[in-house]
Amino acid sequence: MRKKIIAGNWKMNKTVSEAQNLADAIKRDLDSEAKVDVVLCPPFTAISAVSQAVSGTQIAVGAQNMHFEASGAYTGEISAEMLREQYCRYVILGHSERRQYFGETDESVNQKTKAALAAGLKPIVCVGETLEEREADKYQDVIRTQINGGLAGLSEADFKNLVVAYEPVWAIGTGKTASPEQAQEVHAFIRSLLVELSSQAIADTVRIQYGGSMKPANAAELLSKPDIDGGLIGGAALDAPSFIGIVKAAIEA
Ligand code: 13P
């Protein structure tokens, strides 16, 4: 049985004080919940405050990106070690917004994934097709390329610390959710790709999150599917009651 994992990707939202308020509100309701892994991923500037707010609870903190080098002349970038120092345990890598707006490629996702794992962070590696790719029935090819490129060269131990997020680009922030059946089909496909890269036994331990307009109203049905092991939540993670509603759906799933 894979433990479900619900992560909030706050994207470029929340000042430090707003982030603190949101983390406090989530903590108040979820403090003692250990049945599901809960991760908050604020912007870099609020990581320290959110880490402090949730310290001593089961809630973990993650970042939304990092650089693959340990240090050096990379203006504007943040290393894995810097995230660890702020008590991050997870890092989202290869989000479609990073691919679309910031030139992220499968190669850089692979470098970052390896660097994160080497530094003791758990990467949440995002994959997903655009609407055009889905309509042209190319989504499996796109996802195969992203998985094989992003996860190339990982060891068995690495796979045990990996989380994959399937986020169809057409469902992000659009209010359009993949149907539970559509999502399950892709999640099972992703798991079959993980089997090719590792083994059935290892692939069975990797958690695959769904992301794209997940909310309390649709979470339970998505999370009831056998290969949907959690959610990567954008908009609904910015509001404590709706994020908590999704976590509660995961606890009951
Ligand atoms: P929404 O939940 O706002 O669709 O965003 C999903 C997402 O991109 C999470 O990383």
Residue 160 maps to which CATH number?
Answer: 3.20.20.70
CA distances from 174 to 98, 127, 234 (A): 17, 17, 11
Indicate the top mutation candidate among 174, 232, 242 to test ligand 1's pocket, ranked by most ligand atoms within 8 A of CB: 232
39, 122, 130, 168 from 99: Cα distances, Å: 22, 20, 12, 13
Nearest CA to ligand 1 atom 2: 234
Which among 129, 133, 167, 187 is annotated as catalytic? 167
Asked if residues 94 and 127 have their Cβ atoms less than 8 Å apart, the reply is yes
> Which one-letter DSSP state was computed for residue 64?
S
Would the pLDDT of 176 be above 90?
no
**Which atom of ligand 1 lies closest to the CA of 211?**
6
Task: Tell me the C-alpha distance between 36 and 44, whole Å.
Answer: 24
pLDDT at 39 over 70: yes
For residue 33, is pLDDT > 80?
A: no
Strands 230-233 and 5-9: parallel
Report the atom number in ligand 1 closest to the C-alpha of 212: 4
Across 80-88, average pLDDT? 98
Q: What is the pLDDT of residue 192?
A: 98
Mean pLDDT of the chain: 96
The answer, yes or no, to whether residue 30 has pLDDT greater than 90, is no
Distance 219 CA to ligand 1 centre (A): 13
- From 213, 222, 242, 246, the mutation candidate for ligand 1 (largest count of ligand atoms within 8 A of CB) is 213
The rounded Å distance from CA 213 to ligand 1 centre is 6
Mean pLDDT along residues 198-212: 97
Joined together, the tokens standing for residue 147 give 């998985």
Annotation marks residue 67 as catalytic:
no
Ligand 1: residues with CB < 6 A are 9, 95, 167, 172-173, 211-214, 232-236
Residue range(s) defining the domain that contains residue 200: 5-252
pLDDT of residue 93 exceeding 70 = yes
The yes-or-no verdict on residue 32 having pLDDT over 70 is no
Ligand 1: centre distance to CA 212 (Å) = 5
Number of independent structural domains in the chain = 1
What separation, in Å, do the N-terminal and C-terminal C-alpha atoms of the chain show?
12
Confidence check: pLDDT of 125 > 90:
yes
Is 167 noted as a catalytic residue in this protein? Answer: yes
Distance CA 225, CA 183 (A): 9
Nearest-5° Cα angle at 134, 129 to 137: 125
